[in-house]
Amino acid sequence: MSPLFALIARDIRLAVRQGADSMMVIVFFVLVVVLFPLGIGPEPAILARVAAGVIWVAALLAAMLSMDRLYQSDHEDGSLELLVLSPLPLELQFLAKAAAHWLTTGLPLIIAAPLLGVFLNMRAEGFGVLLAALALGTPSLSLIGGVGAALSLGARRSGVLLSLLVLPLFIPVLIFGVSAVDASLTGLGAKAQLLILGGLLLGAAALTPWAGAAALRQAAE
């Protein structure tokens, strides 16, 4: 097995063994969404109107919630230093970490999203696009969040700090993720928005490894 996949497998194994982490993210995701009908009232038309936005915002928060653990334990037990010294380029390791984060949080979020669409009375035509947008958008969240997690390693109150760093950078994904669903529901077609989400993902995949690796290197110094 190549070292890259070994690293992904290690992270997933760790996540599965701790088990609760992934589960907690999903429960958090569902809980946040459930708060909205209780907060703004159960009017089906209003819920259907805001469904995509609520699901996306909840997904951002859930993805961010699990983010600060990404490098924390490696930093604390010293394995981060070993990773930095290993012959595998740190940029690739960053991608592996982000992939593992996506597999343990992004993917479960996508699986849970249709259920929440039903809760929020979303129209059936929107489901496919919502899933496609989440599939293209959540990996970007894992990548951008990975940079934030690496930057805030060892900081005071790193959890709150991480959200302050990362949420503004999530905004483009949120905007196009929501407008993709809205466009498909109004019959305009979501192709343009999905292409932009894909472009954001490619851009993030190309650029965040450099920033993330630089951040990890100086965190391990």
Partner 1 sequence: MHRFANPTRFLKLISALQPWAMGVSVLCLAAGLYFALIVSPADYQQSETVRIMYVHVPASWMAMFCYSAMAGASAVGLIWRHLTAFVVARATAPIGAAFTFLALATGSLWGKPMWGTWWVWDARLTSVLILLFLYLGYMALEGAFDDRSRGARAAAILAIVGAVNVPIIKFSVDWWNTLHQPASVVKIDGPAIHSSMLTPLLLMAMGYTAFYFWVMFVRVRAEFNDARIQALRLRQTEA
Interface residues toward partner 1, by CB under 8 A:
147, 151-152, 154-158, 161, 164-165, 167-169, 171, 175, 207-208, 211, 214-215, 218-219, 221
Longest dimension (CA), the chain: 57
Output the smallest distance, CB 215 to partner 1, in A: 5
Closer by beta carbon to partner 1, 20 or else 171? 171
Nearer of residues 129 and 211 to partner 1, judged by Cβ? 211
- State which residue, 72 or 121, has the beta carbon closest to partner 1: 72
**Residue closer to partner 1 (CB basis): 15 or 52:** 52
Cβ neighbours for 180, distance < 8 A, ≥ 6 positions apart: 129, 130, 132, 133, 190, 193, 194, 197
Q: In angstroms, what is the minimal distance from the CB of 156 to partner 1?
A: 5
92: nearest Cα among 2, 201, 219, 200: 2
Structure tokens at 105: 């949080």
CB of 51 to partner 1, least distance (A): 19
The smaller minimum CB distance to partner 1, of residues 75 and 117, is found at 75
Residue among 92 and 155 whose Cβ is closer to partner 1: 155
Handedness of CA 154, 159, 165, 166 (dihedral sign): positive
**Smallest gap, in angstroms, from Cβ of residue 100 to partner 1?**
21
Give the shortest CB-157-to-partner 1 separation in angstroms. 7
State in angstroms the smallest separation of the CB of 147 from partner 1: 6
